[in-house]
Amino acid sequence: MSFKECLDINYSKLGLYEGHYSDLNDRSYLLKWYAIDNDSLKKSKDLKVFIKKESGDFYLAKPPLKETKDVNVVFSLCMNFYKSKKLSDYIAKNIFD
């Protein structure tokens, strides 16, 4: 869910979600956010703020020489963020407290 949120933030800034791709949430994604919301709306809001703060400018990264698409860089950076200790620690401390 944090991974998809990161992608959504950055792909939107690159203009990739315009038109009919504006709502790409599947049921599992929404149910996970609802589960956090049911526990605490503040936790849900704070997590989204944290994700945006930590990953909201990934779309600005420039691709390595052999890469040709910014989208691939965003995907890679979001995956690294998703697997990061910083995100894991935040969730452990603030979501599952």
Q: Which residues of the chain fall short of a pLDDT of 50?
A: none
Q: How far apart are CA 80 and CA 50, in angstroms?
A: 15
Structure tokens at 49: 């703020």
Structure tokens at 3: 């991974």
Contacts of residue 82, defined as CB under 8 A and 6 or more positions apart, other chains included, come to 2, 3, 6
Task: List, as one string, the DSSP characters of 48-77.
Answer: HHHHHHHHTTGGGPPPPTT---HHHHHHHH
Mean pLDDT of the chain: 81
Domain residues for the domain of 80 are 2-94
* pLDDT of 19: 60
Structure tokens at 34: 């609802």
> The whole model's pTM is what?
0.77
Domains contained in the chain, number: 1
